[in-house]
A and B are shown apart, each in its own frame.
Chain A
Amino acid sequence: MSATGFSRRTFLKSVGAAGALVLSVGQLGPYVLGQKTALLGLAVPVQTFFGEAAEKSLRLAISQINAGKDILGKDIPKGLLGNPLDLTVSDSAGRGDQALRAVQELVLSKRADFLMGFFFSEELLGALPAIPVLRKIFMGTGAATPVATIQVSSDYNNFKYFFRPGPSNSFFILQALAVFIRDFLEKKQAWNSLVLFAEDAAWNKAITDGMPAILKAFGSKVEVAKVIRFAEDTADFTPIYKDAVEAMKGKKGGLLTTLAHTGLRPTIQWWDQKVPLPFAGINVQTQDARFPTLSGGKVESVTTYTSAARTKITEKTIPFFDAFEKFTAFKPEVTAPSYNAVISYDALFILKEAVERAGVLPDTEANTDKIIAELEKTDYVGNAGRIQFYKRGEKGVSPLRPDQDFPHDVRYGSGFVEGVFIQYQGKELKAETLFPDKVKTTDSFISPPWLQG
Chain B
Amino acid sequence: MGSLPRSIRIIIISAVVLSGLPSGLDLRGAEVRTVCASGGDFTKIQEAVQAAAPGDTISVCPGEYKERVVIQKSVTLSGAGPTDVRILGGIVVAGVDLLVNLGGFTVAGGFNGIDVRGQTVGLIRNVVVTKNAADGISVLDASRVSLFNAIITENGTSRPPLEPIGSGLYIGGNARVSLALSTLSKNIVDGITLNDRGSLEASVLTEISENGKDGVAVCGASQVSLQGVLISGHAGGATTGGNGVFVADRGQAMIAGVTLTKNKRSGIQVGGFCGAGIGGAPAVGVARATITHSTVTNNGGHGISVGSLLTSPLPGNEVEADVQAFLNRIEGNGKCGIWVDSDARVDERDNLFSGNPGGDKCK
Contacts and interface: CB of A to CB of B under 8 A. Distances in A.
A105 B196 CA distance: 16
A127 to B, nearest CB: 9
B148 to A, nearest CB: 24
B143 interface: no
Interface stretch (A54-62, A65-73, A129-137, A408-416): A129-137
Nearest to B283: A95
A168 to B, nearest CB: 20
B257 interface: no
A262 B172 contact: no
Interface string A144-167: 000100010001001000000000
A231 B196 CA distance: 23
A133 B117 contact: no
B279 A109 contact: no
A28 interface: no
B12 to A, nearest CB: 31
Interface in A75-129: 93-98, 100-101, 104-105, 107-110, 120-122, 125-126, 128-129
Interface in B146-187: 157, 159, 161-165, 172
A98 B111 contact: no
Nearest to B92: A108
Contacts of B111: 104, 107-108, 130, 133-134
Specify the main secondary structure of chain A where it touches its partner.
helix
A94 B196 contact: no
A97 B195 contact: yes
Contacts, number: 112
A96 B276 contact: yes
Interface residues of B, number: 38
Contact of B133 (A133, A151, A200): A133
Contacts of B280: 94, 120-122, 199-202, 232, 261
Interface in A194-232: 199-202, 231-232
A45 interface: yes
A94 B277 contact: yes
Contacts of A74: none
Interface in B90-142: 90, 92, 94, 111-112, 115, 117-118, 133-134, 138, 140
Interface in B17-61: 31, 41, 51
Contacts of A151: 162
25 contacts: A8-B31, A9-B41, A95-B275, A95-B278, A96-B163, A104-B111, A105-B117, A105-B140, A108-B94, A108-B112, A109-B92, A109-B118, A120-B280, A121-B280, A122-B276, A122-B280, A129-B162, A130-B111, A147-B162, A202-B280, A231-B282, A232-B279, A233-B282, A261-B278, A261-B279
Interface of A: 1-2, 8-9, 12, 45, 48, 93-98, 100-101, 104-105, 107-110, 120-122, 125-126, 128-130, 132-134, 147, 151, 155, 158, 199-202, 231-233, 235, 260-262
The 8 lowest CB-CB distance pairs between A and B, nearest first, are A261-B279, A94-B278, A109-B94, A232-B281, A133-B133, A129-B165, A201-B280, A108-B92
Given A94-B280, A108-B70, A151-B162, 9 more contacts: A98-B196, A101-B138, A104-B115, A108-B111, A109-B117, A120-B278, A122-B276, A200-B280, A235-B315
